[in-house]
């Protein structure tokens, strides 16, 4: 009888240890998932900041006579496309939606880069204080976006590693934790640009 009670006690003790481990691992995964969500919110904040600057920038540029309309149209259309892509926190759980979001933001980045190149042909525009201030804010925002994306990728890496490591991967699988997508470099960015003088 004494041996039976010791056996029951050992099984109960092991059960308590397993439950405590499960709770600790689950809570750790929740913490990492919320870290990813927080990083995603920071990315969205910086992209929103950029989207808010675009109408002011376009309005300032429109004031210059003979400015290339196709360039302004591309910027306005890219901003509209960014606004039409849903970017809630569930985007990080949907690789297809994440790629659409990333593509729309990349299109806006490209249109804004082209705008800044075209602006070089208009010294009267570059000389205005309003444009200079907006250009400076846009450059600062692009830097913030790069930092937010880097921080997001770090959070995603930490989370993804956690859900793939044994034995936590078992708990992650049972509890529905899924791998998150990373921001990736734009296609062709691995090639150095060709500079001609």
Confidence class for position 137, pLDDT limits 50, 70, 90: very high
Mean pLDDT of the chain, nearest integer:
86
Judge contact between 18 and 138, C-beta under 8 A: no
Which superfamily is assigned to 2-175 in CATH?
LemA-like domain (1.20.1440.20)
Give the model's pLDDT for residue 74.
Answer: 87
Give the model's pLDDT for residue 163.
Answer: 96
What would the 3-class secondary structure string for 3-23 be?
HHHHHHHHHHHHHHHHHHHHH
CA dist., res. 106 & res. 137, Å (int): 18
CA dist., res. 173 & res. 164, Å (int): 9
Give the model's pLDDT for residue 186.
Answer: 67
Residue 197 clears pLDDT 50, i.e. is over it: no
Residue 125 clears pLDDT 90, i.e. is over it: no
- Distances 98 to 12, 40, 102, 105, 181 between C-alpha atoms, Å: 45, 11, 6, 11, 7
pLDDT (tens digit, 9 = 90+) per residue, 147-183? 999 999 999 999 999 999 999 999 999 999 999 999 8
Q: What is the share, in percent, of the chain residues with pLDDT greater than 70? A: 93
27 or 130, greater pLDDT: 27
Give the model's pLDDT for residue 31.
Answer: 96
What average pLDDT does the segment 1-11 reach?
A: 85
- pTM higher than 0.85 for the full model? no
CA dist., res. 21 & res. 15, Å (int): 10
Give the model's pLDDT for residue 195.
Answer: 42
Domain locations in the chain as residue ranges:
2-175
- At residue 184, what are phi and psi to the nearest 5 degrees? -120, 160
CA 167 to chain centroid? 29
Confidence class for position 123, pLDDT limits 50, 70, 90: confident
- Distances 129 to 57, 141, 147 between C-alpha atoms, Å: 12, 18, 27
What average pLDDT does the segment 109-125 reach?
A: 85
């Amino acid at each position: 009888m004494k041996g039976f009670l010791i056996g029951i006690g050992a099984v109960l003790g092991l059960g308590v240890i397993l439950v405590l481990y499960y709770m600790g691992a689950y809570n750790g995964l929740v913490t990492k998932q919320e870290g990813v969500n927080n990083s995603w919110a920071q990315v969205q904040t910086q992209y929103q900041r950029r989207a808010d600057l675009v109408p002011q920038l376009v309005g300032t540029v429109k004031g210059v006579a003979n400015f290339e309309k196709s360039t302004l149209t591309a910027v306005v259309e890219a901003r509209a496309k960014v606004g039409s892509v849903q970017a809630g926190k569930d985007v990080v759980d949907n690789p297809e939606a994440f790629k659409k979001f990333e593509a729309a933001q990349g299109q806006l980045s490209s249109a804004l880069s082209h705008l800044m190149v075209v602006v070089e042909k208009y010294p009267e525009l570059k000389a205005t204080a309003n444009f200079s201030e907006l250009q400076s804010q846009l450059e600062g925002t692009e830097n913030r976006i790069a930092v937010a994306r880097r921080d997001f990728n770090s959070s995603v890496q930490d989370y993804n590693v956690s859900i793939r490591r044994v034995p936590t991967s078992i708990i992650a699988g049972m509890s529905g934790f899924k791998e998150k997508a990373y921001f990736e470099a734009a296609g062709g960015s691995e090639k150095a640009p060709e500079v001609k003088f």
